[in-house]
Amino acid sequence: MAETVIETCGLVKRYGDFTAVYGLDLEVRAGEVFGLLGPNGAGKTTTILMLLGLTEPTDGWIRVLGHDPVRDPIAVKRLTGYLPDNVGFYDELTGRQNLFYTAELNGIPRREAAPEIDRLLTRVGLADAADTRVGAYSRGMRQRLGVADVLLKRPRVVIMDEPTLGLDPEGARTFLRLIRQLADEGMTVLLSSHLLHQVQAVCDRVGIFVKGQMIACGPVDELAEQALAGEPLRLELELAPCTEELLSALERLEGLVEVHRRDGPAGTAPGDFARGAAASRSGESLRLELVCRRDVRAEVSRLAASHGAAVLHLSQAGRSLDDIYRRYFADGGETGGGTSEGAA
């Protein structure tokens, strides 16, 4: 098992009466991309600031690469790069000058910094804009300059707070690819986000954060199984033609809970499949959603074949992070306390 890079134990942060983070146990291993996932105000940024020693925890302890950010923030900050949410630069300086300032703050001699800055600016695609004032940069360019700024100190851990927020889809995709590259180069990346699909695309493991507590933690697939263990399976199905007999046969399948007809733009009109069957007498194709307790895909296709219908589409739906997210956040408030202890 890989070395633990970030470890917290019973981390608590209170602002007066408000508890921003409560009893957080986090473990991030070397070389992985870890996603802190949660709605706004869940305590993600507070956690990140505590990891960097920019805010003191009320209780609990933290180790980042073996250093305690409360006692020795300089050691942590030397090894850790931080890309804040909506990163800011000095508008009146050029991109290159901003990076030189960072290099100077890190004690990197100018002679060593200059080629490194050139290399990083090229890597993030800002070589042409290097000598333009940052004031004229677009948001995506600032964000990429932020990455160059973070990488300049050659960190072992990179912490990013909502890195793709406000980027256009193409910019976000490029950005995520860059994050993946960093991890492949052996860097450990911790990123926070409330954008599920991006987290799913890039993270090895995620921790789901609700109201200051991490209510689940693990690889996305595992979380899905955990979260949706009791949930019925949903199958999307398209049959042509779909006869009434076939529908009733489907309904009689063992383990089937419900059949929804998904037709027209409204999509998920629940219940009452009989009406749907009546409408499909013409022999046109019909889209259905099957809610079942077990995987009945094989039976469905066999049944369709025996009724002379073609299966145009058959897929398992609803195991994405969206469902996990919805499931956790919908009842996160009530079950939060219980599951966090389970996760711990």
Q: Find the shortest distance in angstroms from Cβ 176 to another protein.
A: 21
Q: Does 136 bind another protein (CB under 8 A)?
A: no
- Single out the segment in contact with another protein by CB under 8 A; choices: 105-113, 216-224, 231-239, 284-292: 105-113
Please report whether residue 67 would count as binding another protein according to CB under 8 A. no
What distance in Å separates the CA atoms of residue 285 and residue 262, rounded to the nearest whole number?
A: 11
- Closest separation in Å from C-beta 226 to another protein: 32
Residue 32 within binding range of another protein, rule CB under 8 A: no
Q: Which is nearer to another protein, 73 or 125 (CB)?
A: 73
Asked if 22 touches another protein (CB under 8 A), the answer is: no
Relative to beta strand 59-64, strand 213-218 is unpaired
By the rule CB under 8 A, 49 interacts with another protein:
yes
Closest C-alpha among 249, 261, 240 to residue 296: 249
Closest CA to 130 of 112, 109, 145: 145
- 81 binds another protein, rule: CB under 8 A: yes
Applying CB under 8 A, the site for another protein has a residue count of 37
Stretch that binds another protein, among 89-97, 178-186, 236-244, 299-307 (CB under 8 A): 89-97
Rule CB under 8 A: say whether 113 interacts with another protein.
no
Q: How many whole angstroms separate alpha carbon 192 and alpha carbon 29?
A: 16
Judge whether 331 and 232 are in contact, CB under 8 Å: no
Peptide bond into 241 cis (omega under 30): yes
Residue whose CB is less far from another protein, 108 or 290: 108
Indicate the residue type of 330.
Answer: A
Based on CB atoms, which residue is closest to another protein, 85 or 263?
85
Distance (Å, rounded) from C-alpha 253 to C-alpha 275? 19
Restricted to residues 275-304, the positions that interact with another protein (CB under 8 A) are: none
Cβ proximity to another protein: between 138 and 248 the closer is 138
Position 177 contacts another protein (CB under 8 A)? no
Distance CA 153, CA 295 (A): 51
Per CB under 8 A, does 146 bind another protein?
A: yes
DSSP output for 264-322: TTTEEE-S-HHHHHHHTTT---EEEEEEESS--HHHHHHHHHHTT-EEEEEEEE--SHH
- Angle, alpha carbons 108-113-114 (nearest 5°): 155
| Separation of alpha carbons 236 and 213, rounded Å | 35
Question: Binding to another protein by residue 90, rule CB under 8 A?
Answer: yes
Q: Which of 329, 40, 42, 322 is nearest to 197 (CA)?
A: 322
Q: Identify the residue among 111, 221, 252, 268 touching another protein (CB under 8 A).
A: 111
- Cβ of residue 140: shortest distance to another protein, in angstroms? 16
Shortest gap between Cβ of 103 and another protein (angstroms)? 9
Shortest Cβ distance from residue 85 to another protein (Å)? 9
Angle (CA) 241 243 245, round 5°? 145
List interacting residues with another protein (CB under 8 A). 15, 45-46, 49, 52, 54-55, 74-75, 77-78, 80-82, 84, 86-93, 97, 100-102, 104-107, 109-111, 146, 149, 153
